[in-house]
Amino acid sequence: MVTVAEKMRAKQALTGAEAVAHAMRQIEPHVVAAYPITPQTPIVEYFAQFVADGLVKTEMIPVESEHSAMSAVVGAAASGARAMTATSANGLALMHEVVYITASMRLPVVMPVVNRALSGPINIHCDHSDSMAERDSGWIQLYAENNQEAYELTILAVRLAESEEVRLPVMVCLDGFILSHGVEPVEIYPDDQVKNFVGEAKPYYPLLDTSHPVTYGPIDLYDYYFEHKRQQIEGMKGAKRLFPAIAQEFEKAFGKRYDFVERYRTDDADCVIVALGSTNSTIKYAVDWMREEGQKVGLLKLWTFRPFPKEEIRKALDGKKAVVVLDRAASFGAEAPLYEAVKSSLYNAAHRPAMGSYIYGLGGRDIRPEDIRKAADNALKGELNADEQMYLGLRE
Amino acid sequence: MPITMKELALEFDKKNPGITQGHRLCPGCGAPITAKFVLMVAKHLGYDPLVGVATGCLEVSTTIYPYTAWSIPYIHNAFENVSATVSGVETASRALKKWGKIPQDKRHAFIAFGGDGGTYDIGLQSLSGAVERGHNFLYVLYDNEGYMNTGNQRSGSTPPGAQTTTAPVGKVIPGKPQLKKNIVEIIAAHENVYAATVSLSDPVDFFNKVEKGLNFQGPAFLAAISPCVRFWRVPESDTVKIARLAVESNYWPLYEVEKGVYRVTRKPKSFKPVEEFLKSQGRFRPLLSRPDADKIVGELQAYVDARWERLLALEEATKDKPIRK
């Protein structure tokens, strides 16, 4: 029996970047190819130091761009190696072409994405425009609320990606600076426990098995391309099916429970706020604050954005009076990406809630509990218009 | 030990150099001959070759799903990233040896193939990065001097005046004004590299350079002149003949640069005029029918002559003076 005191002792004050680097150290991939970009840089720096100090056997490829990072990772993963990279914003955009190829080759690559606003104008701070631009790339997307989650989800992601039913790459999204550079107490699990959980990589059709030659990346025209895309769709369904079992194993190993969504004080809530990433901590604070004043507010946090947990969202939100969705990204000329998806999930709800969409925090603009309160207050007053785009923390 | 023609003939007789018949490249295409030359030598030397191919003719025509013409491990990723992709494969092999997943004595040969688009232009950064990092791989450029896969567009390798669809010879502009990039010197400038030109017309020289490239500890680069029958407007039967004319006219001098040391591998007593090379191909016909043809051809001839003088001087100047150990 581990006491709380012992657990607290095991906690270290770590930035999200360092916590993720520790996850990578414990996973000990055969190959890491990466290119530095703010705010992902410290992940690569910490990991390079682990390599330099001989703490891992990993071969690191210090590539000349993110496009080459993802390309080298594809080569390594197709060869039968466990391969990882990490990036942010413009780096992810530069990879874009190969991000799709990685998924289509069914290579189980895990990539921490430190969320940063996509240029232009150039900005280095947090929003989700970078990972949202890859939402249809065929990658699984997990979002971390805090540094502990960024660490844990990176470990969990390896198992999810490499499962036979899935064989898809995973982005572990953590908010730039807020998490990557923010220091929090993080419990780093013993190395052997993590290694035991992730297990050995089981390669499928590795290129390096020269006695069984395979062709990766053939030209695939109208007679098969469609079926192969369908297989990717089924792979993502596999991720949806399998995630609870892997989460359960994770809980057994480390005592932390993951799910598609986290319901925070939603059971009796009239108004539920939906969000991704670190803002969920701020929302929890605002929810507690409003609850103290007797207002029935709750939070639905999404851990998985791809596969999108439609059923779980419907189950949590059906019958609520109001739902407010906070997006840290815009989709110009259409509804914000998270809002659009949540709204669509409620199409078949028995009792559709009133809905409101707020865009907040673009380019790292701070989001305060007061902002969230304002959004929830409006919702509770019945002032939501499902077609109106609203903003938090924006000068008009 | 240089490979003899007899040994190569025996290798060829096995009919499985790694790329087999049944692909859909044009009859007379230089690319599959180039690939076969390279792979035959690799196999003959006891290597287990793995190939990466950049998007282009060689790629689209050999792997039309559900078929593949490759009997060895093959990966195509995208157009501009074959070098980065192969550097990932090569690194994985080193890592998996370290982990004991692959036998230590396994002799893989990592070979990247790219056309001139994937090498001179869109793939140059990826290639430069992989060469700078020192991956142990052989990059083979099949240079057909244009974007032939997409239908004859200008590339950084297209010679002046060659008819292409994006730098056509028009009433006012006489086609592409720029000379080819010197890709071999660009790669040679990475210093810790073996870089050479080869031609299908000089197979023994070609084989020797493949052998040197494969045995070189680090990155190696071969530039093969690779006539495109379709857009050079030449008969299918003349591929090797045109490649020979390129060498005989000094349009494509045969040389190598090993860690900064230049060596000219073919030094004939005299060269044919470049005009003979140009006249052999339909792609230069619009240029040659222009009133200012002589001027443009003369400029190309002057360049070819000056390059040769410079090459000989570099050979002399760099003799026994490798820039890297």
E strand or H helix that includes residue A59: strand A59-61
CA distance A104 to A106: 5
Task: Point out the residue among A79, A220, A224 whose CB comes nearest to the CB of B89.
Answer: A79
B92 with A33: Cβ contact below 8 A: no
Prediction ipTM score: 0.97
| A99 token code pair | 């991000």
CA distance A170 to A246: 14
What are the tens digits of pLDDT across the range B252-310?
999 999 999 999 999 999 999 999 999 999 999 999 999 999 999 999 999 999 999 99
Residue A282: inside a domain: yes
Window B:96-125, CB contacts with A under 8 Å = 96, 98-99, 101-102, 108, 125
Residues A295 and A383 in one domain: yes
CA distance A113 to B180: 40
A302 forms beta bridges with A261, A276
CA distance B17 to B41: 9
Give φ, ψ of A139 to 5 degrees.
-90, 145
Residues A328 and A232 in one domain: no
Residue A215: inside a domain: no
- List, as one string, the DSSP characters of A1-13: ---HHHHHHHEEE
Measuring CA to CA, how many Å separate A50 from each of A23, A32, B50, B92, B241?
A: 12, 12, 31, 18, 56
CA distance B304 to A263: 74
Residue A211: inside a domain: no
| A350 token code pair | 């028995």
Q: What is the pLDDT of residue B117?
A: 97
Give φ, ψ of A217 to 5 degrees.
75, 40
Residue A213: inside a domain: no
Q: What is the pLDDT of residue A90?
A: 98
What are the tens digits of pLDDT across the range B16-52?
889 998 899 999 999 999 999 999 999 999 999 999 9
Residues A115 and A241 in one domain: yes
Angle, CA of A141, A147 and A152, to the nearest 5°:
60
| B170 token code pair | 């028009």
| A193 token code pair | 């426990």
Last residue of a domain, one of A210, A231, A254: A254
Residue A274: inside a domain: yes
Give φ, ψ of A262 to 5 degrees.
-115, 125
Residue B126 has pLDDT above 70, yes or no: yes
- Residue A182 contacts B where some CB pair is shorter than 8 Å: no
Residue B319 has pLDDT above 80, yes or no: yes
Nearest CA-CA partner of B113 in B79, B90, B146, B148? B79
CA distance A44 to A60: 10
Q: What is the pLDDT of residue A2?
A: 59
Q: Which residue has the tokens 């673009």?
A: A362
E strand or H helix that includes residue A192: helix A191-198
Residues A352 and A236 in one domain: no
According to DSSP, residue A191 is labeled H
Contact list, B83 vs chain A (CB under 8 Å):
68
Task: Point out the residue among B73, B98, B126 whose CB comes nearest to the CB of A71.
Answer: B126
Residue B118 contacts residue B54 (beta carbons within 8 Å): yes
What are the tens digits of pLDDT across the range B191-211?
999 999 999 999 999 999 999
| B318 token code pair | 């760099």
Nearest CA-CA partner of B50 in A70, A102, A214, A107? A214
**String of b and e for A184-204 (b: at least 16 CB within 10 Å)?**
bebbbbeeeebeebbeebebe
Q: What number is the average pLDDT over the span B227-237?
A: 97
pLDDT in tens, chain A (396 residues): 556 556 655 799 999 999 999 999 999 999 999 999 999 999 999 999 999 999 999 999 999 999 999 999 999 999 999 999 999 999 999 999 999 999 999 999 999 999 999 999 999 999 999 999 999 999 999 999 999 999 999 999 999 999 999 999 999 999 999 999 999 999 999 999 999 999 999 999 999 999 999 999 999 999 999 999 999 999 999 999 999 999 999 999 999 999 999 999 999 999 999 999 999 999 999 999 999 999 999 999 999 999 999 999 999 999 999 999 999 999 999 999 999 999 999 999 999 999 999 999 999 999 999 999 999 999 999 999 999 999 999 999
- List, as one string, the DSSP characters of A85-145: --B-HHHHHHHHHHHHHHHHTT---EEEEEE-PPSSS---S--SHHHHTTTTSS-EEEE-S
- Residue B72 contacts A where some CB pair is shorter than 8 Å: yes
Q: What is the pLDDT of residue B210?
A: 98
Average pLDDT score over chain B: 96
Residue B15 has pLDDT above 80, yes or no: no
Laid out side by side, the sheet with B194-199 consists of: A215-216, B74-75, B48-53, B108-115, B138-143, B220-225, B194-199, B255-258, B261-264
Nearest CA-CA partner of B39 in B25, B29, B53? B53
H/E/C letters for each residue in chain B?
CCCCHHHHHHHHHCCCCCECCCCCCCCCCHHHHHHHHHHHHHHHCCCEEEEEECCCHHHHCCCECCCCCECCCEECCCCCCHHHHHHHHHHHHHHHHHCCCCCCCCCEEEEEEEEHHHHHHCCHHHHHHHHHHCCCCEEEEEECCCECCCCCECCCCCCCCCCCCCCCECCCCECCCCCCCCHHHHHHCCCCCEEEEEECCCHHHHHHHHHHHHHCCCCEEEEEECCCCCCCCCCHHHHHHHHHHHHHCCCCCCEEEECCEEEECCCCCCCCCHHHHHHCCHHHHHHHCCCCHHHHHHHHHHHHHHHHHHHHHHHHHHCCCCCCC
Mutate to test the interface with A, among B55, B90, B93 (most CBs of A within 10 A): B93
Residues A51 and A195 in one domain: yes
Cis peptide preceding B100, ω within 30 of 0: no
Mutate to test the interface with B, among A35, A59, A231 (most CBs of B within 10 A): A59
CA distance A337 to A349: 20
How confident is residue B10, by pLDDT bands cut at 50, 70 and 90? confident
Residues A293 and A330 in one domain: yes
Global pTM reads 0.97
Cβ–Cβ contacts within 10 Å for residue A5, how many?
8
Q: What is the pLDDT of residue B116?
A: 97
Last residue of a domain, one of A238, A254, A270: A254
CA dihedral B214, B219, B225, B230 (to 10 degrees): 100
| Domain count of the fold of chain A | 2
Q: What is the pLDDT of residue A3?
A: 63
CA distance A91 to A114: 10
Q: What is the pLDDT of residue B204?
A: 93
Residues A122 and A238 in one domain: yes
3-state secondary structure of A321: coil
- List, as one string, the DSSP characters of A227-289: HHHHHHHHHHHHHHHHHHHHHHHHHHHHS----SEEEES-TT-SEEEEEETTHHHHHHHHHHH
What are the tens digits of pLDDT across the range B73-84?
999 999 999 999
In chain B, the residue whose alpha carbon lies closest to the alpha carbon of A30 is B95
Q: Which domain holds residue A347?
A: 261-392
Half-sphere exposure (Cβ direction) of A371: Cα atoms closer than 13 Å: 18
Residue B36 contacts residue B9 (beta carbons within 8 Å): no
Residues A240 and A278 in one domain: no
Q: Which residue has the tokens 């230069």?
A: B284
Residues A320 and A188 in one domain: no
Q: Look up the CATH number of the domain holding residue A114.
A: 3.40.50.970
Nearest CA-CA partner of A23 in A86, A78, A66? A86
Residue A134: inside a domain: yes
Contact list, A64 vs chain B (CB under 8 Å):
125-126, 128-129, 132
Window A:196-255, CB contacts with B under 8 Å = 207-210, 213-221, 223-224
Supply the CATH classification number for the domain B5-318: 3.40.50.970
A31 with B95: Cβ contact below 8 A: yes
Residue A245: inside a domain: yes
Measuring CA to CA, how many Å separate A151 from each of A32, A162, B74?
A: 17, 18, 35
